[in-house]
Structure 1
């Protein structure tokens, strides 16, 4: 059986949207594309991804409408959602290995990592990833720290062959418009001099990425770990495009 792909949406600055992207991508791949996966939330002690799962379950328990939607959705996926496991950075790889050793292992294991590179356990976990996608926004502070993070990973792990990383990509997120600004172009030129590729897909700054469930009669959800993004909301979100690009990169 093929070893699962270890994938992280990672950066060292809060506000870049790494946890939201992990949740939306995982749910899209699992519920819409039918790819078996799990997620390991080792962003200790926040564990925002696992907390999102808890909120999702509470919403489903309180709302009969949501419960019915969950039941219909899960029926096509053997009656369950994908696992989200709480972990610490030092235990994350051991947790992943336990899933990889299963008779029918998941195809992808997502890692929601802490936003720091000042922890040897985090560095070690990153070094064992197959693919790392680093979100970058047009906020100057986020932009600066994301590029710094990418440069550290590239110089200390990738170019030195001290990691298993097959691909490290920057991903524009929370961008006010779909067109690249002069600042983005200058940033991409600089990133290019570092030898780090930037994904073609640009994800817009949209309130839909923060929509966890609303409306009883016309229920819709975008950021969820128990349901896929709402079909109507997917239009213009860039998620379908970024999934296609990521799957092409990973050869799935």
Structure 2
């Protein structure tokens, strides 16, 4: 369970940026978004990335990697060996570490030295030992929400707890609308965003459209990015580029 915390640890300019999609309501897409963002930025944009999975009730990202590797055939291995970023540089699968929230400081130390971005897959409940410790190492917290009353209420309560505890500055917290349908949710999302601002909570510009196909194995692989043909119509590119801009902003703030 989270408790009143000391100031978050200072980060060295050369240490990786740690980003977490997190909330206390299940089914909001935190794990799916973690994998999609990590895979795009690592395999396409060439940002050396890792995922640390401390959602100990499932360890779904860690176990997904194990399944993918075990089912990899000769053609798949060849694809890995030939995979290149947008800059035409060769790239190998990003590391995925697992453990408990309490272990986050040590897991961060165990990462390869070249890692520049870490996606931290947090537990789905704040009532887990070490949750506050893990969160104190996060540079940017992104809270996925739907526009439903229950989702907004639980997401707002989660952000309010973060604010009261003081683990993260509010300008390093963002809401992102997930499973979004513009014709249904657009006006309500605009109103909610205006209300959030009164409490110091900001939203990403990106709004992630509702797509059941994000869950398809080929689309959310940890070994490959989302297929280019699907990505073009997925509505996710804006999110990927906005996250990349946030990473640059955090890196810039560290050297000031």
- Do the structures match in fold with TM over 0.5? yes
**Does the 8 Å CA contact 1:168/1:197 hold for their aligned counterparts?**
yes
Report the equivalent of 2:3.
none
Residues 123, 34 of structure 1: alpha-carbon distance in 2 compared, 3 angstrom cutoff: same
Q: Distance in 1 between matches of 2:247 and 2:92?
A: 25
Aligned residues: 235
CA displacement 1:81-124 (0-9 Å, x = unmatched):
0000111111122111232xx5x331011110001222351112
Q: Distance in 2 between matches of 1:37 and 1:165?
A: 24
Match of 1:70 among 64, 80, 90: 80
Q: Secondary structure at the match of 1:96?
A: helix
Per-residue deviation, 1:152: 1.2
Residues 250, 127 of structure 1: alpha-carbon distance in 2 compared, 3 angstrom cutoff: same
TM-score, with normalisation over the residues of structure 1? 0.84
Q: Distance in 1 between matches of 2:65 and 2:226?
A: 14
Match of 1:95 among 100, 104, 107: 107
**Does the 8 Å CA contact 1:172/1:201 hold for their aligned counterparts?**
yes
Structure 1: tracts of 5 or more residues without a match? 213-220
Within 5 Å, give how 1:167-186 maps onto structure 2: 167-177=172-182, 180-186=185-191
Report the equivalent of 1:210.
215
Match of 2:48 among 36, 39, 57: 36
Report the equivalent of 1:116.
125
Output the aligned Cα RMSD.
2.3
Structure 2: tracts of 5 or more residues without a match? 1-12, 250-256
Q: Secondary structure at the match of 2:144?
A: strand
Q: Distance in 2 between matches of 1:177 and 1:236?
A: 15
CA displacement 1:142-178 (0-9 Å, x = unmatched):
2221221112112322xxxx44776111011111337
Report the equivalent of 2:148.
139
Q: Secondary structure at the match of 2:135?
A: helix
**Does the 8 Å CA contact 1:130/1:167 hold for their aligned counterparts?**
yes
